[in-house]
Chains A and B, each alone.
Chain A
Amino acid sequence: MMGQMALDPMHQFKVETLREFSIGGFDISFTTASLALMLVVVIVFALLFFAISKPKIVPSRMQSVGELGYEFVANMVRDTIGEEGIKFFPFIFTLFLLVFGCNMLGMIPYFVTPTAQIVVTAALALLVFFTVIVFGFIRNGIGFLKLFVPSGVPLPLLFLLVPLEIISFFVRPLTLSLRLFGNILAGHIVLKLFVGFTVALLGTASFLSVFAIAPFFLALAFTALEFLVAFLQAYIFTVLTCVYLNDAFHPSH
């Protein structure tokens, strides 16, 4: 069992406590997951700080990357919400960088991937969900409820459609969190399985070792795919956040 530990595809998601803390019965122990999150914050901030340290009109390479990220998210906000959505730009930019950073850090072996932890994705999704609700009511008052009333539909049909719209609205945090969680988790499991096969086949120390090359190349190809998924899932999470926030700005549709 001990020797199998490293090959267990689930083991990589195990959160180990590094330092135990608690405040008033609330467990705030510093774990490997906390370490990964802090590393993401430090790395993201360090890279961006480096990007803005020596601003030039003709940008350096780091500066271009920083500006690229800025424009990428800013255009996303402008396209889905409009100019007024720029108010939420720091929020969305933080969300994007945090999710993207966690996904990328997860590509490094031996690091816990925070976005493969259901609590993390659920918390982020709920944060978006409640931000939409709170801001929607602040901005539109009771008019925010128009979100659940499709326009141009005869009254009797509304009795059916309004419950459907409400259910659809409450599905959002669920799908938003599960999509990110599921994709990152599944990718890491599959990757780990291929690596595990390679190691296991090599470990036989017989003619079977030759076949280790097949899962090895599969793992290699899958790693490239996982980098794409890491970006794509962060992108989808952010775009959907924009789409949901758009409802708070324009509830009637």
Chain B
Amino acid sequence: MVLDLIGSILVGLMFGLALDHVLGTEPWGMLALLALGMAAGFRLMLRTAEQQAKRIADETNAASAGAGAAKQGHEDT
């Protein structure tokens, strides 16, 4: 999950630098895409958290019915 955030920021940064390089708009593309990368990272993190919360809720609900669902998202990061 933390990796999603860091990765998104890195990807945003990389895209921004590439954009600046092509368009010659330093440093605005880098800054804009850095912000977008952060936003994307938080969004991804929230989505993952939501999914995990849902999965945990499902598992507790279906605890008696047998743990059928694939135990997704055991991410060690």
| Direct A–B contact in complex, judged by CB atoms less than 8 Å apart | yes
Q: Count residues on chain B whose CB falls below 8 Å from chain A CBs.
A: 24
How long is the Cα–Cα vector from A244 to B3 in the complex, in angstroms? 17
How long is the Cα–Cα vector from A179 to B34 in the complex, in angstroms? 22
How long is the Cα–Cα vector from A75 to B68 in the complex, in angstroms? 11
Min CB–CB distance B23 → chain A (angstroms): 16
Q: Is the interface of A mostly helix, strand, loop or mixed?
A: helix
Contact status B70-A79, CB under 8 Å? yes
A-chain residues with CB within 8 Å of residue B69 when the two chains form the complex: 79
Contact status A164-B3, CB under 8 Å? no
How long is the Cα–Cα vector from A229 to B76 in the complex, in angstroms? 9
Please name 12 further chain A to chain B contacts, defined as beta carbons within 8 Å, in addition to the given A168-B43, A179-B75, A232-B76, sorted by A numbering. A160-B39, A163-B36, A167-B12, A167-B15, A167-B36, A168-B8, A168-B44, A171-B11, A171-B40, A229-B76, A236-B74, A239-B70
The listed residue with most A CB atoms (<10 A of its CB), out of B11, B36, B41, B69, is B11
Min CB–CB distance A161 → chain B (angstroms): 9
Q: List 15 A-B contacts (CB under 8 A).
A: A80-B70, A164-B39, A167-B12, A168-B40, A168-B44, A170-B15, A171-B7, A171-B10, A174-B11, A175-B3, A182-B77, A235-B74, A236-B73, A236-B74, A236-B75
Residues on A close to B: CB < 8 A?
A: 75-76, 79-80, 160, 163-165, 167-168, 170-171, 174-175, 178-179, 182-183, 229, 232-233, 235-236, 239, 243
How long is the Cα–Cα vector from A80 to B36 in the complex, in angstroms? 29
Residue of B nearest to A239 (CB): B72
A-chain residues with CB within 8 Å of residue B15 when the two chains form the complex: 167, 170
Given contacts A175-B3, A178-B3, A182-B77, contact A164 B70 (CB under 8 A): no
B-chain residues with CB within 8 Å of residue A160 when the two chains form the complex: 39
Min CB–CB distance B19 → chain A (angstroms): 11
Partner of A175, one of B7, B72, B76: B7
Min CB–CB distance B60 → chain A (angstroms): 20
Min CB–CB distance A211 → chain B (angstroms): 30
Q: Give the residues from 36 to 76 in chain B that come closer than 8 angstroms, CB to CB, to chain A.
A: 36-37, 39-41, 43-44, 69-70, 72-76
How long is the Cα–Cα vector from A243 to B44 in the complex, in angstroms? 14
How long is the Cα–Cα vector from A233 to B70 in the complex, in angstroms? 15
A-chain residues with CB within 8 Å of residue B44 when the two chains form the complex: 168, 171
Min CB–CB distance A58 → chain B (angstroms): 25
The listed residue with most B CB atoms (<10 A of its CB), out of A170, A182, A235, is A170
How long is the Cα–Cα vector from A170 to B18 in the complex, in angstroms? 14
Contact status A76-B70, CB under 8 Å? yes
B20 near A: Cβ within 8 Å?
Answer: no
The 5 closest A-B pairs by CB, nearest first: A167-B40, A171-B7, A164-B40, A174-B7, A175-B7
